[in-house]
Structure 1
Amino acid sequence: MEDEVDRLVAAWRRERPDLDVEPLEVLSRVSRLARHLDRARRLAFAEHSLEPWEFDVLTSLRRAGAPYQLSPGQLLTQTLVTSGTMTNRIDRLAKKGLVERLPDPSDRRGVLVRLTPEGRDRADQALAGLLEQERAILGELSRNQRGELAALLRQLTAPFDNIPG
């Protein structure tokens, strides 16, 4: 089965036989897959009236477990945005009733951001929709193939995530 990347690689091999274009065979497919995944994610989130950044913040809080709260600093670490951006995001989510700010009992000057029941429901529903979209993308891959692919991708991405080993 030939795909668009096969045609692209063949054209480059014909036009630039002096270059090793082998990386394109993997990374062009990863890039194309990322575009499809981005579309699927946006669709899943839109069905629950969420933007991707809203999903990221809400699910960071949801994954924290009961009582579903984190400090703004912890949210920064998980979402990789600046403190100004996070403040803006928390403000917007609070205005929608999806999170609330509470005083941090261990730090008089600190605050905690807590998921509201509506925020928790919206995060849970959006996650279920996302997983449905992602299963469709994985298509006919067997459980074993999915595991092999996950292991290979982990090997490629781990250095970027600062994971030892």
Structure 2
Amino acid sequence: MARQITSGQDLQDDHVGVRRRQWSRELPDVNTVGMAILGRARWITLKVRPSIEAVFAKYGLDTGEFDVLATLLRSGPPYRLRPTELFQQLMITSGGLTPRLARLEKAGLVERPPSESDGRSLPVQLTPLGRNQAEAAFRADMALEADLLTCLDEHEKEDLGRLLAKLAVALDP
């Protein structure tokens, strides 16, 4: 759980704030606002990653395997995608997808039924067990992430989400 910050605490006293002050003494002409945003975003990601990975591990999954199951679940019934659709949505290579699928198939979480429309293609489909695992892991992950954000009020969460979305869209090729 995130700790609460009192209004009297200086929010610039985190590790990035300290580094920015050091840089402003050494190179006062350099704008470090990128560090204020991207440095903190990186630190936050690295800080919460072990907790999120632990949630997935409780369900016998690593992050990459969860991503496959979650992508299939988000696709809606019949929870089936072609491998090309999967690796494009996951932003990985087909070579990165193959071992994930092998592990998930071995665990009984996905299956590769023949395609009704293309005899050369084997779509990837969630099994009932895979759907249950994906849903349970997602619910647990979202509960953890909500808990990690308790230091922000609802307006701050909305504002931060909106600003991060604006940055993400601007950086998307």
TM-score by length of 1: 0.92
Residue in 1 aligned with 2:49? 38
The one-letter code of the counterpart of 2:87 is L
2:64 is the alignment partner of 1:53:
yes
Please list the CA deviations of residues 19-65 of structure 1 after superposition, one character each: whole Å capped at 9, or x if unmatched: 22222122211111111232222121112111000000000111111
Q: Which runs of 5+ in 2 are unaligned?
A: 1-9
Aligned length: 162
Contact 1:44/1:126, CA 8 A, preserved across alignment: yes
Residue in 2 aligned with 1:85? 96
2:155 is the alignment partner of 1:144:
yes
Q: Which runs of 5+ in 1 are unaligned?
A: none
Root-mean-square deviation (Å): 1.3
User: What is the rounded CA distance, in whole Å, between the counterparts of 1:159 and 1:75 in structure 2?
Assistant: 24
Shift of the alpha carbon at 1:120?
A: 0.8
- Higher-strand-fraction structure: 1
Indicate the SS of the match to 1:67. coil
Contact 1:76/1:86, CA 8 A, preserved across alignment: yes
Contact 1:103/1:112, CA 8 A, preserved across alignment: yes
Identity, in percent, stands at: 36
Match of 1:98 among 90, 102, 109: 109
Match of 1:134 among 128, 145, 151: 145
Shift of the alpha carbon at 1:75?
A: 0.3
User: What is the rounded CA distance, in whole Å, between the counterparts of 1:78 and 1:116 in structure 2?
Assistant: 20
Shift of the alpha carbon at 1:17?
A: 1.7
Larger relative contact order, structure 1 or 2 (CA cutoff 8 Å, min sep 6): 2
User: What is the rounded CA distance, in whole Å, between the counterparts of 1:76 and 1:159 in structure 2?
Assistant: 23
Residue in 1 aligned with 2:28? 17
User: What is the rounded CA distance, in whole Å, between the counterparts of 1:84 and 1:160 in structure 2?
Assistant: 26
The one-letter code of the counterpart of 1:130 is D
Runs of 4+ more than 2 Å apart: 159-162
